[in-house]
Amino acid sequence: MSLATAVVIGLLYGLGTYLVMQRALTRIVIGLALLAHGANLLLLAAGGRAGEAPIVEEGATAAYADPLPQALALTAIVITFGVTAFLLALAYRSWILGGSDEVEDDVEDRRIAQLGHGQRQ
């Protein structure tokens, strides 16, 4: 793995992690997309050095690139793409219903917050 690939993967994971921890849904979606890119690059990097296109020909002896991680990355890209699209649709639905882009508190948190609020008064 070259240093550049390693740095890019690290950056993608770092930025993705940062964005996933935000409260706005769009940022989370973008963060997940970045994480997905990072993971796919890592898959590619796991295949080792780049080489010839892995098409077997008679008498060819050149070092082939490992095709398996590429196939895996392709599958992973399709899956994360589909789920991200679904997530965007869900975020849009949430915006239509609630008018906000924020992740809402879960029911329990809200109830506990109310309890605490009641006690203070």
Partner 1 sequence: MKLLLPLPVVLPLLGSALSLAFHRRVRIQRWIGVVVLVGTLVAGVTLLLMIQESGSASTQIGGWPVPLGITLVADLFATIMLAVSTAMVLVVLVYAIGSPTTADEATFFHPVYLMLAAGVSASFLTGDLFNLFVAFEVMLTASYVLITLGGRAEQVRSGMTYVVISLLASLLFITAIAMVYASTGTVNLAELATVMPEIHPGLRQAIGALLLVVFGIKAAIFPLFFWLPDSYPTAPTPVTAIFAGLLTKVGVYAIIRTQTLLFPSDGPSTLLLSIAGATMLVGVLGAIAQDDVKRILSFHIISQIGYMVFGLALFTVAGIAAAIFYIVHHIVVKTTLFLVGGLIEAETGTGALRRLGGLSHTAPLMAIFFLVAGLSLAGLPPFSGFVAKLALVQEGLALDRPLVVGVSLLVSLLTLFSMTKIWAGVFWGSPDEEPPGARIRATSRRTMLISTGALVTLSLLIAVAAGPIYELSTQAAVSLFDPGHYVATVGSR
Q: Summarize as ranges the residues that interact with partner 1 (CB under 8 A).
A: 20, 25, 28, 32, 35-36, 39-40, 42-43, 45-47, 68-69, 72, 75-76, 79-80, 82-84, 86-87, 90-91, 93-94, 97-98, 103-104, 106-108
Residue with Cβ nearer partner 1 (2 or 75): 75
What distance in Å separates the CA atoms of residue 113 and residue 109, rounded to the nearest whole number?
6
φ and ψ at residue 116, rounded to 5 degrees: -60, -40
List Cβ neighbours of 90 (8 Å cut-off, separation of 6 or more). Answer: none
Residue with Cβ nearer partner 1 (18 or 86): 86
Burial label, 40 (beta-carbon count in 10 A; 0-12, 13-18, 19+): buried
Residue with Cβ nearer partner 1 (15 or 20): 20
| Least Å from the CB of residue 11 to partner 1 | 15
